[in-house]
Structure 1
Amino acid sequence: MTLQSHAGALPAGLIDVFADAPLTGNPLAVVEDADALTEAQMRRIAGEFNQAETTFVMRSDRADRKLRSFTAAGAEVGGAGHNALGAWLWLAEEGRLGSLDTPRTFHQEIAGEVLPIVLEKIDGRIFGRMRQSRLNLFSPLDEPAALASALQLQAEDILVEPRPRVAGTGAAHLLVRVRDRTIVDRAKPSAEALLDVLASVGGEGCYIYAFDPASPDQAYARFFNPTVGLWEDAATGTAAGPLAAYLAREGLMGETIEIEQGTKMGRPSILRLRLVPDPELSGAGVVVMRGGLFI
């Protein structure tokens, strides 16, 4: 059941993305009908919500909706990750998109790109499948010593198959494979040192991951992004997508992979990806707050 709209207010709320239950997954603030807001207002509203990201939904003459997303620190982020998937799941849960008893494809304008997303209802829940852009690879990191130091790990903790490198399918992040999940959890990045490493390789954030030895189609990850004031993120689709594409390019995964993220933060999230051939990110969400935003 949706709440009655408040006169003069913008519909807004919170949705936990990549979640099966409230207070898990990665929370996202969503603001609808945001066309009249200035960029400065969007940045301040994102700071008011103080979530990892706040997504503003607007009209588009190129797609079904236009999305803009900002971190709590006011940095605008692109790419089709939890910021976009969560916005569409919100719209669907609020009844803005009509019936989803059969799969329906919508198109979203994000940072100048138009990308498809498929929404459907399965066993009473709404799921989204969202295509990302083609993989863009940067030069690999040849010397891991500075990176290991920035993460407060040992150089031998970082594996070279595949080599650490920046990759993107909408946003460019440094992908770093370590020996096992205990090493992932042991990482305690120094923001200043990690910023220096990311600047040297042209990366926005750092995605540390390890494979499950018993299940090669599963990985465990954490994400740090000091460049936009986001210390750690519970579920990062813009990092999971390029990771899947990069692993497939190196022959280290099949068509699908599941990535567990956010567990160290107490916000367990599961990101599911398949290659078709570009990464397709899928998941569901749980609305935890509905209301109106008065400006």
Structure 2
Amino acid sequence: MKNIMKESVYHLLDVFTNQRFGGNQLAIFEDATEIPTELFQNIARELNLSETVFLYPKNDQGHYPMRIFTPVKELPTAGHPTIGTAYFLAQKYPQQIGQLELIMSQKIGEITVKVDISSSGVTMATMYQIDPIFGKVFDNRHQIADLLSLKESDLLAYPIQEVSCGVPYIIIPVKTIKNIENIIFRTDIWEQLKPLFNENSVYVFTPHGTLPNGDLHGRMFAPELGVNEDPATGSANGPLGCYLFKHNIKKGPLISEQGFEMGRPSILHIHIENEGDKITAVKIGGQAIIVGRGTFFL
């Protein structure tokens, strides 16, 4: 007698882009109640995307519980899964002109996302990240340059620093777009550095863009999350915006480019609000597009 397999539908999105085959891929299982929780990690590993979301129905508070997995671990929060899931949910509401507010219940807590809707549909989703924590500054600049296959002279004079808005990143500033393009991430050096970095992911940026309206250009490496390189990282661009504000490098609404070297160009909108020297809000926005649907057999 054949075993009867359950089927679970997932949706595939490209996030931080409005073009198919750009941005960061995301799988969303829209009804996680039908999937045993012990399978979440295995499913994420099988799909092998940067992140996979398991979404639950709206709870009594009107919030949407969701869990986020990389191929190797669960995350407390993440940018492109939050933006992509909000975009996906907004498609299910009657089309209305204006702004829709969604509350996403994540491992880290409640995350607010505001979705702008025009007559042509969803135009932008913006998540509010938690207040920044500025961590350790790293002085071993020569070794960190080696990690990226760059010279120490390619690094900007600003600090190399750990910053977190829920997920910690090591922020590394370099001088030029060419420096970014020339990065080859050395896993041998990473093995030496990861205890010092507490296994946190690395975000390298330059304060220049390739597009006419681009302000920043970056790359993100997360070997401990099973992600060699990520094409668009909302949870890193929030800390990046806070870093830029703290060190007086760039302020105001910023356009951040990522994923270009991977052939998946992504655009992230950074907006840091402040009262004097105090950061009062960290907002990351972007677009998304639904590109496909699949069925997983359980």
Same fold (TM over 0.5): yes
Corresponding residue to 1:186 among 182, 187, 201: 182
Q: Is the 8 A contact 1:62 1:109 kept in 2?
A: no
Q: How does 1:63-74 map to 2 (within 5 A)?
A: 64-72=63-71, 74=72
Corresponding residue to 1:165 among 161, 167, 180: 161
Mark the runs of 5 or more structure 2 residues left unpaired by the alignment: 274-279
Deviation at 1:203, TM superposition (A): 5.0
Which residue pairs with 2:202 in the alignment? 206
Q: Does 1:82 align with 2:85?
A: no
Corresponding residue to 2:251 among 240, 250, 254: 254
Q: Secondary structure at the match of 1:47?
A: helix
Amino acid of the structure 1 residue aligned with 2:260:
T
Q: Does 1:129 align with 2:121?
A: no
Q: Is the 8 A contact 2:68 2:77 kept in 1?
A: no
Aligned CA distance change for structure 1 residues 217 and 285 (closer, same or farther; 3 Å): closer
239-248 or 119-128: bigger deviation: 119-128
Deviation at 1:21, TM superposition (A): 1.0
Corresponding residue to 2:217 among 216, 220, 228: 220
Q: Does 1:118 align with 2:114?
A: yes
For residues 109-160 of structure 1, the C-alpha deviation after alignment (integer angstroms, 9 at most, x for no partner) is: 1113111111121351312111001001111011212111111111111122
Amino acid of the structure 2 residue aligned with 1:64:
H
261-270 or 206-215: bigger deviation: 206-215
Which residue pairs with 2:276 in the alignment? none
Aligned CA distance change for structure 1 residues 46 and 245 (closer, same or farther; 3 Å): same
Deviation at 1:198, TM superposition (A): 3.5
Between the aligned partners of 2:36 and 2:271, the Cα distance in structure 1 is 37
Q: Secondary structure at the match of 1:209?
A: strand
Root-mean-square deviation (CA, aligned residues, Å) is: 2.1
Q: Does 1:152 align with 2:149?
A: yes
Q: How does 1:16-35 map to 2 (within 5 A)?
A: 16-35=14-33
Amino acid of the structure 1 residue aligned with 2:197:
V
Deviation at 1:101, TM superposition (A): 2.2
Q: Secondary structure at the match of 1:212?
A: coil
Mark the runs of 5 or more structure 1 residues left unpaired by the alignment: 1-6
Aligned CA distance change for structure 1 residues 203 and 216 (closer, same or farther; 3 Å): farther
Corresponding residue to 1:285 among 285, 288, 293: 288
135-144 or 83-92: bigger deviation: 83-92
Q: Is the 8 A contact 1:173 1:203 kept in 2?
A: no
Between the aligned partners of 1:131 and 1:12, the Cα distance in structure 2 is 26
Q: Secondary structure at the match of 2:32?
A: coil
Between the aligned partners of 1:233 and 1:107, the Cα distance in structure 2 is 25
Q: Secondary structure at the match of 1:103?
A: strand
Amino acid of the structure 2 residue aligned with 1:115:
I
Aligned CA distance change for structure 1 residues 217 and 135 (closer, same or farther; 3 Å): farther
Deviation at 1:217, TM superposition (A): 6.8
Amino acid of the structure 2 residue aligned with 1:169:
C
TM-score scaled by structure 2? 0.89
Amino acid of the structure 2 residue aligned with 1:164:
I
Q: Is the 8 A contact 1:145 1:155 kept in 2?
A: yes
Deviation at 1:61, TM superposition (A): 5.3
How many correspondences in the alignment?
285
Aligned CA distance change for structure 1 residues 291 and 216 (closer, same or farther; 3 Å): closer
Amino acid of the structure 2 residue aligned with 1:207:
Y
Amino acid of the structure 1 residue aligned with 2:70:
T
Deviation at 1:213, TM superposition (A): 7.9
